[in-house]
A and B are shown apart, each in its own frame.
Chain A
Amino acid sequence: QVTLKESGPVLVKPTETLTLTCTVSGFSLSHPRVGVNWIRQAPGKALEWLGYTFSTDEKSYSASLKNRLTISKDTSNNQVVLRMTNMDPADTATYFCARSPTSYCSTGVCSPYYFDYWGRGVLVTVSS
């Protein structure tokens, strides 16, 4: 069956870089249009889509965070890695990875449009 699992530090200091890993099973990261997304949720707040990787090595990021985000993929190890630089207490949130089984592309922009499987999430606290 399809599973995703996030791993990484639960506490980071302000200005540090966060690195989270999503390990997947039950599907192939090289499948065309299947994507792995990063989504976060600050305590008591709404979901926020951060970005995703799909197809061979395509990536797309939230416009508001793209300068701080890097998503990479290690197909051989079934892992997707999120790096977020210059962490701030406002980045304290539960970080989820989620699968998008397909993407839609229009005018050069590709985006997922639904997420069918989610990891349990990891709560990352940013504090000195």
Chain B
Amino acid sequence: QSVLTQPAFVSGSPGQSITISCTGTSTDVGYNLVSWYQQRPGEVPKLIIYEVVKRPSGVSSRFSGSKSGNTALLTISGLQAEDEADYYCFSFAARSTLEVFGGGTKLTVL
């Protein structure tokens, strides 16, 4: 069981915005070193957000990251069919467990 908690399922209609949460503690998410990955079916995970809010070159500006307390948030605006995928958060963890991927969230575009 992951130490980072994500909702198992999220859905939205094309054009809408959705937010996926990743809840941890002060010893992981509290460090502002959270990253997010998109994994489409059959594909390799792709980095879409790092250090909570930064977007790698080439990633659509429709993806944005933020944080509130010990919960990191991934927001996808202007939802498109191609956004249908699994999304995972990952965080630095200042303790011995180091098992710091979230359990993943399956996004369905209705």
Binding site for B on A (CB under 8 A): 39, 46-49, 60-64, 96, 98, 104, 106-107, 109, 111-116, 118-121
Lowest 7 CB-CB distances: which A-B pairs, in order? A114-B35, A113-B33, A114-B50, A113-B92, A46-B104, A47-B101, A106-B94
Q: Are B90 and A114 in contact (CB under 8 A)?
A: yes
- The minimal Cβ–Cβ distance linking B46 to chain A, given in whole angstroms, is 8
- The minimal Cβ–Cβ distance linking B98 to chain A, given in whole angstroms, is 6
Interface check B63, CB cutoff 8 A: no
Contacting A109 at CB < 8 Å: which of B46, B50, B90, B94? B94
- Contact A113-B35, Cβ < 8 Å, known A47-B45, A104-B92: yes
- The minimal Cβ–Cβ distance linking B41 to chain A, given in whole angstroms, is 11
- Contact A49-B35, Cβ < 8 Å, known A107-B94, A113-B90, A114-B51: no
Q: Are B103 and A111 in contact (CB under 8 A)?
A: no
Q: Which residue of A lies closest to B94 (CB)?
A: A106
18 A-B pairs with C-beta separation under 8 A? A46-B88, A46-B104, A47-B37, A47-B39, A48-B99, A48-B101, A49-B90, A96-B45, A104-B31, A106-B92, A111-B92, A111-B93, A113-B50, A114-B33, A114-B35, A115-B47, A116-B56, A120-B44
